Amino acid sequence: MHGLNRLITDLVELTWPAARWASLSLAFGCFASHSPGQQGLGKVPGFATDTALFATVVRSLPNAAEGPIRVDPRPLRASRNVFTPGALGAVFSKKEANQKPLADVSDALLEGRRHVLRRLSVRETNAVSDDQCPGNLILPEIPVDRSKCPRDGPFRSVAVALPRSSEDSLTNPGRISQAPVIIRVSIRSMTAHGGSTNVSDYYVERASAEKWAVKKVVFVRMIE
């Protein structure tokens, strides 16, 4: 486990040359493909690539008056029709209403994301539970269940999807692809009285053979 954490630490710091990226992606890609519960993961990036992309997105999350971020390491599925980690966004995705928002991924991929959060001193959260905090537009005097709203101060609950789009830019570390990787990010700003969710797509490109960078953030929708 110590060796695994050392590898993840290097990925978070994004200092590895392309050759080591390629070998690590291949090794963990093979590991993930043989892990239980991996049905339908043919387009999921390797462990190393997801760790680097996840770190890039989390580092780029903006500071806001709504409070600090807390991130659920479990990824949303790589779909333009997934908006939130819970049932809140289902009304906007009729095409996939019967599919769960969270992706089935390997333990190695989840541990990679958790290590990123520890290295960046970001608290984990359960974004599915946070999604059950009612919307801000509901008046405080209306009797609704606010037990899932924070009691220890406001914060922003974040869910980061698996990447979608350009397969080449995910699987070929030696080539700087011009096609961006798109990562859906759901940020629910929560108080004791309710919450609202900002859904955006983060366009991430290879800055070099070793690094990724967020090029732009495109607003998708607001969900109260």
Largest CA distance in the chain: 60
Q: What is the pLDDT of residue 40?
A: 30
What's the pLDDT score for residue 95?
A: 60
Please give the pLDDT value at position 44: 57
**Per-residue pLDDT at 38:** 33
Q: Is the pTM of this model over 0.95?
A: no
Residue 45 contacts residue 161 (beta carbons within 8 Å): no
Where in the chain are the domains? 2-223
Look at residue 72 in the predicted model and tell me its pLDDT: 98
Q: Which of 145, 123, 127 is nearest to 199 (CA)?
A: 127
pLDDT at 145: 79
What is the mean pLDDT of each successive set of 10 residues along the chain, which is 224 residues long? 52 40 36 34 66 96 88 94 79 61 93 97 95 79 80 94 72 61 94 91 88 94 88
CA distance 134 to 150: 11
Q: What is the predicted pLDDT for the residue at 112?
A: 96
pLDDT recorded at residue 144: 77
> Helix, strand, coil proportions of the chain in percent (round to 5)?
35, 25, 45
Predicted pLDDT of residue 115: 97
Cβ pair 151, 72 in contact under 8 A = no
Q: How far apart are the first and last CA of the chain?
A: 41
d(Cα 127, Cα 72) in Å, to the nearest integer? 6
- The b-or-e profile of 198-210 (16+ CB within 10 A means b, else e) is bbbbbbbbbeebe
Rg of the chain's alpha carbons, rounded to an integer?
18
Exposure letters 139-158 (e unless 16+ CB within 10 A, then b)? eeeeeeebebbbeeebbbbb
pLDDT at 65: 78
How is residue 88 annotated by DSSP?
G
